[in-house]
Copies of this chain bind each other. A is one copy, B any other.
């Protein structure tokens, strides 16, 4: 996996940080946070926090005590040990887009299907820059709602050997994912020793945690499985229109969710979540890759480090409907700050289109290309006698060229990163090759990747047991 040993780009002064710090303290103390779960309220009550109806008025020092119980860094195991990941520190792990109901393939935009889901899982396995297919790469709309989490989890477990995300639609779904993880990894003890899934628990911002996702949090936290406690903030709608206010709210929400996770199981691994962008104040549409979201992302990294927590952001975000120029620069407008901030768990790294409504096959390839370029860019320079190249100058002299020099010959195969999608063909050759734009080339690449895809080996007894579980549970769920 990728380790980002470049410096972090931090833009908040100590004074700014203390203003934000005062801000979240006031918010949790005076406005409080709603938890739509009797179990959650009871835990806070028992811990001595003031609870009125569904609102918990939190003592900031109590929150920080809970947060301090969370590990700063932790491992997540994949069924192929070579794909294990580390969350925290300089580590960055990348997962595919999460949640789109629709799929785009070339000119066609349609409802996502289970076969689309499987294809995105296969592509996530195929592209080495991705550490995970994520969870809901697209909604498999042609499968029954009640049991599709079983089909998705089975696909993630069998078509990839990478880390996967757990389903969070309900506590029952979470129990299914945990049970299947126990089958895959050899029992409860194995998955509690080192977690095997990461799950996304969103806040219903502002300042409200809903019951179904909290039910899932209860299950995952109890099993020692990390959740990403994520304020879901489109500034102007789910938070005030000012970035500092959104950051303060984000801290209050994330830390309150993390405190709950620690009450459920002290020491449980968690990730400080961030989904932070803004709406277009004229149309009300969500917008992505914006200047405001870039600033928010940089601040989020600094804030998470301030609290000693690993953190999550997205990804290749864009509002664009198609994988065009806007999609390219908006994706990078989020992905480059992601590297500058050193995000530990990067969701939506590949495939995001149209504000997250669409998982795009071509966009998936574009994003993998961008992430791979950035991984090379965020690798420290090695400066030594060889890389200073004085001997090359002695050989070449003034006004010459270095193409055939010994210094070049020794290094030309590996000296520069070679992209798989970008074209630098000269015009005549590019025309001869069909004048293909990026999206056209990307389409050829994902189709070829699917053709060449090989399913990673899995013990047949384990596979059969997983399948039996899915079949039995689907029957129980009446699908």
Chain A contact residues, CB within 8 Å of chain B: 6-7, 9-12, 16, 19-20, 23, 26-27, 30-34, 54-55, 109, 204, 206-208, 235-245, 248-249, 278-288, 290-292, 294-295, 299, 319-333, 336, 340, 354-355, 357, 366, 370, 373-374, 376-377, 379-383, 386-390, 392-394, 396-403, 405, 407-408, 411-413, 415-419, 421-427, 430, 435, 437-439, 442
Contact = CB atoms under 8 A, between A and B. Distances in A.
B399 A245 contact: no
B325 A439 contact: yes
A393 B290 contact: no
A243 B323 contact: no
A19 B398 CA distance: 22
Contacts of A322: 437
Given A398-B208, A412-B236, A417-B290, A387 B326 contact: no
Contacts of A390: 23, 26-27, 30, 245
Taking the full assembly, how many copies of this chain does it contain? 2
Contacts of A439: 324-325
Contacts of A279: 416
A281 to B, nearest CB: 5
Contacts of A283: 424-425
Given A240-B408, A398-B207, A281 B6 contact: no
A421 B285 CA distance: 15
Given A241-B415, A280-B424, A249 B393 contact: yes
Interface centre among A33, A327, A331 (most CB of B within 10 A): A327
Contact of A19 (B10, B287, B380, B388): B388
A381 B244 contact: yes
A5 B472 CA distance: 61
A396 to B, nearest CB: 6
